[in-house]
């Protein structure tokens, strides 16, 4: 496992081997799973004491560096290799200048990446771009750096706890009761959490296909945690004195595989873009 020791992480040799093998396995899995690529994955047990960390990967089917990053994202969620961290992922797809149009790209994904580009003071966006807890960005295929940043994020407990309870989770609609409450030490006057949005992203696993043009032409692709819908469920003006409860509602497309859907709920500072709390609920 990756263990944090005095601000550093220790890499177990077996995990390095697993990471290398998983990339090869991911390519083979994608080749055997063209079209919907609908499949069932085995996840590592969730440690209830672990600090949840949101890992976002901005990806596109037009970029030949994105498939390895997609495999890394799936592997990290499946294996949960960072001691003390619970990795929760979303993969927003965007389009870049290319003859191939990504079928999973949405304007909301591009708008989200543009907001990060501004907050990180970059001149332009790129793919595959990994963003850890809204506070740091780096190339998504660099698995060792991604793991280091996740380990660092897990050393910083979230100021808010997020609880999710299904209110309606059948048919073509979804309703979730969400509770956000302050946790841990009271924020200092010098650095309190600012105004924040309560956001919900519906993600889908087991997607893919084979582009017919662009850098990945003829290459079977596989994607997990693909962002399918964005919902703003509520807003916080600052740390709540008592738990805040909101309800998020959205339609579920009949084209989505219900047994591959997850609702990722997080609180994001509207100025710094830092993630203040995050949780996930499988819709299976």
pLDDT at 18: 45
* pLDDT of 92 strictly over 90: yes
pLDDT at 42: 63
* pLDDT of 28 strictly over 70: no
pLDDT at 57: 98
pLDDT at 117: 97
Please give the structure tokens belonging to residue 10: 């220790």
* pLDDT of 27 strictly over 70: no
Q: 3 or 281, which is more confident? A: 281
* pLDDT of 186 strictly over 90: no
Cα 148 to Cα 44, 48, 103, 143, 151, distances in angstroms? 19, 21, 32, 9, 5
The position carrying tokens 């047994």 is 259
Q: 20 or 233, which is more confident? A: 233
- Fold exhibited by the domain 3-282: Immunoglobulin-like (2.60.40)
The answer to whether 37 and 206 have CB atoms below 8 angstroms apart is: yes
Band (172; pLDDT cuts 50, 70, 90): confident
pLDDT at 98: 87
pLDDT at 41: 55
Please give the structure tokens belonging to residue 146: 């991604």
pLDDT at 184: 78
Tell me: the pLDDT tens digits for 125-134?
A: 999 999 999 9
Q: 34 or 68, which is more confident? A: 68
What predicted TM-score, i.e. pTM, was given to this entire model? 0.86
What does the alpha-carbon distance between residue 249 and residue 234 come to, in Å, rounded to a whole number? 11
Q: In what order do the strands lie in the sheet with 51-58?
A: 85-90, 51-58, 129-132, 136-139
pLDDT, average across residues 226-250 = 96
Mean pLDDT of the chain, nearest integer: 86
% of the chain exceeding 70 in pLDDT? 82
What does the alpha-carbon distance between residue 168 and residue 176 come to, in Å, rounded to a whole number? 7
Tell me: the pLDDT tens digits for 102-147?
A: 999 999 999 999 999 999 999 999 999 999 999 999 999 999 999 9
CA within 13 Å, CB half, 147? 24
* pLDDT of 15 strictly over 60: no
* pLDDT of 212 strictly over 80: yes
Over the Cα atoms of the chain, what is R_g?
A: 18
What does the alpha-carbon distance between residue 237 and residue 186 come to, in Å, rounded to a whole number? 16
pLDDT at 90: 98
Please give the structure tokens belonging to residue 153: 């994020």
* Domain range list for the chain: 3-282
pLDDT, average across residues 215-226 = 97
Tell me: the pLDDT tens digits for 44-82?
A: 777 888 999 999 999 999 999 999 999 999 999 999 999
* pLDDT of 163 strictly over 60: yes
């Amino acid at each position: 496992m990756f263990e944090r020791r005095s601000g550093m992480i220790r890499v177990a040799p077996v995990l390095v081997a697993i990471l290398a093998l998983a990339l090869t396995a991911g390519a083979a899995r994608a080749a055997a799973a063209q079209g919907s690529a609908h499949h069932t994955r085995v996840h590592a047990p969730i440690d209830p004491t672990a600090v949840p960390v949101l890992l976002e990967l901005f990806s596109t089917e037009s970029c030949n560096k994105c498939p390895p990053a997609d495999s890394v994202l799936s592997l990290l969620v499946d294996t949960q290799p960072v001691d003390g961290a619970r990795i929760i992922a979303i993969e927003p797809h965007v389009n870049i200048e290319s003859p191939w149009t990504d079928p999973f790209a949405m304007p909301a994904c591009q708008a989200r990446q543009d907001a990060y580009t501004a907050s990180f003071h970059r001149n332009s966006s790129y793919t595959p771009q990994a963003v850890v807890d809204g506070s740091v960005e780096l190339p998504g295929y660099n698995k060792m750096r991604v793991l280091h940043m996740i380990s660092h994020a897990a050393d910083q407990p979230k100021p808010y706890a997020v609880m999710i309870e299904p209110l309606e989770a059948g048919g073509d609609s979804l309703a979730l009761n969400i509770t956000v409450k302050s946790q841990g030490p009271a924020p200092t006057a010098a650095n309190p959490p600012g105004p924040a949005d309560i956001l919900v992203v519906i993600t889908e696993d087991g997607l893919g296909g084979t582009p017919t043009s662009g850098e990945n032409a003829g290459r079977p692709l596989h994607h997990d945690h693909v962002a399918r819908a964005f919902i703003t469920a509520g807003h916080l003006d600052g740390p709540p004195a008592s738990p805040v409860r909101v309800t998020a509602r959205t339609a579920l497309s009949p084209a989505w595989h219900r047994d591959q859907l997850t609702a990722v709920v997080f609180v994001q500072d509207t100025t710094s873009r830092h993630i203040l709390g995050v949780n996930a609920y499988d819709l299976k």
